[in-house]
Amino acid sequence: MGHLWTFFTHLHSLAGPTIMLLYPLYASIRAIESPSKLDDEQWLAYWILYSFLTLVEMVAEPVLYWIPIWYQMKVALVAWLVLPQFRGASFIYERFVREQLRKYGCAAVGGHPSPKVKKVVAAPHHHRRRRTSFSHIYRSSMTLPIAGRARGQQLIVSRSQRRRRREVKKVAGGKGGQGER
């Protein structure tokens, strides 16, 4: 009975790194390789929150030393953040972190798009251009599949790149629009 009790009392030394690092590492790799963006957001949010928790823990170590169940509380919190049934990391990020970033004016959040990512905004009906085979050009961003890339990976083509391609086709005398995308 003594060996079994010793095993259970030291189980947290295995559970902590497994829950906090090994499983998230595995799940992050799977998320990167999947075409879905939802799981990418979950794991980016997890690593942001885990980094913040580690920094807070480093700063507050003298106080946390006096809380006897701190490590068990931390493992339970991180398990809630990690487990896909709860999606705790996404919940905390959406509810608290993103709101604070917007409130205090972080440039990356809150209406300041990066130069590489442009929002697609539909123009009013009277401002829309005539539909042609080039209708995909008028969107503010477009993705093209690239041969040899993994499924789900695409190249983002900017508006200026599309404009140059059209000009090259005009100079070359190409009709364009037939089977292109």
* Mean pLDDT, residues 170-175 taken together: 62
More reliable by pLDDT, 111 or 82: 82
In the chain, how many H helices and how many E strands?
Answer: 9, 2
- pTM for the full predicted model: 0.54
- Do 24 and 59 lie in a common domain? yes
Residue (of 60, 58, 54, 49) closest to 95 by Cα position: 49
Residue 152 lies in a domain: yes
Residue 114 lies in a domain: no
Tens digit of pLDDT for each residue in 42-96? 999 999 999 999 999 999 999 999 999 998 899 899 999 999 899 999 999 999 9
Q: How many domains does the chain have?
A: 2
- Cα 131 to Cα 26: distance, rounded to the nearest angstrom: 46
DSSP class of residue 128?
Answer: P
- Do 17 and 98 lie in a common domain? yes
pLDDT at 47: 95
- Do 14 and 54 lie in a common domain? yes
Residue 18 lies in a domain: yes
DSSP class of residue 111?
Answer: S
- Do 84 and 29 lie in a common domain? yes
- Do 93 and 137 lie in a common domain? no
- Do 168 and 86 lie in a common domain? no
- Do 13 and 82 lie in a common domain? yes
Question: Domain range for residue 72?
Answer: 2-103
